[in-house]
Amino acid sequence: MTAVVPDALPDVLAWLVIVSFVATAALERHDRKTARTVGAGAWVLFGIFWGVLFPRFAFEMKSFVEGALSLAAVPLCVYAGYQLYSGRDTLFVLSRAVAAMGIIYVPFSSVEFLRQWLVELVSYQTNFVIEALGYNPEFTIAKENGYHSAFIFTDETGHSYYTYLVLACTGIGSMSIFGGLIAAVEAPLRRKLKAFAVAISIIWLLNVGRNVFIALAFGNQWFQYFVDPIMSTVGYADPGMVSFFIADRVLSQLLAVVALVGILWLVLRDLPELLTVVEDVAYLVTGNEYDLHRTVRTDGGR
């Protein structure tokens, strides 16, 4: 038996986190001592937020990748708060980035017509690509959310495989991350806009491709491998869900991590100012200091 987290708790924590980080950014230029204290609290709240989401990712969504990342984020966020409070002022950049990420993401998660518009836009694009590849699932309204975002594939025996898109399938999370990072650094607007355009366009295309891949893999049962071990480990009652699990929870999510690293490398070419954030994250993870600015300058001079 697992404890059930009230649906409202993550939303309340998300708002508290955003308000705290926005307050930190507002205080930073005028009262750094107070900003450090508020920022440290914001980071601790952020850690609690990820801890609350861990059961949902790991047990409800059965996502080992997201579950592991959310669990790892708990001590990292608390440690970031401690380091900021202790005087590591470069973490103000990452704090501003989190504030901007929330400002970008929350309207789509909280405002119904924005969420529906985005989910249905991505759904129609996903269906367009699926049909262009020669497949013809039933593209219909999802009973779970009322959006035109469901795909139903039916095999020769008449068995149907049903998937539907939600907000997480739109790529808004990844777009918010890069939007927040780009907004947080001090750099010429021209370079920031170029970096933003590169990141968002790549994420959008890759995300539609990801949706197409998952819908086709599940609808056509491409990955019916290790069915019994996966069912017993994950807890699925329907053997057909194994293809969905491998396509989405394993392959797509692992490749998404690789893709985000690659996109970050492309963005860094236009915004080397983001190396400060990378250095801070590397320090939080490893405990070692890195001077990536110097490395980039050295490599660039060869």
Residue 17, both tokens:
């986190």
CA distance 92 to 242: 43
Taking Cα atoms as reference points, which of 168, 211, 169, 177 lies closest to residue 196?
177
Residue with tokens 């990420």: 101
CA distance 248 to 256: 10
| Residues 106-111: contacts with CB under 8 Å, at least 24 apart | 106/14, 106/15, 106/18, 108/167, 108/170, 108/172, 109/11, 109/14, 109/167, 110/11
* Amino acid making up residue 143: K
Angle 292-199-214 from CA coordinates, rounded to 5°? 115
DSSP of 200-262, one letter per residue? HHHHHHHHHHHHHHHHHHHHTTTT--SHHHHHHHH--SSTTHHHHIIIIIIIIHHHHHHHHHH
CA distance 178 to 204: 12
For residue 146, give every residue at least 6 positions away whose Cβ sits within 8 Å of its Cβ, in sequence order, or none. Answer: 116
Angle 146-53-46 from CA coordinates, rounded to 5°? 120
Residue 47's SS3 state is: helix
Any idea which residues carry the catalytic annotation? 169, 210
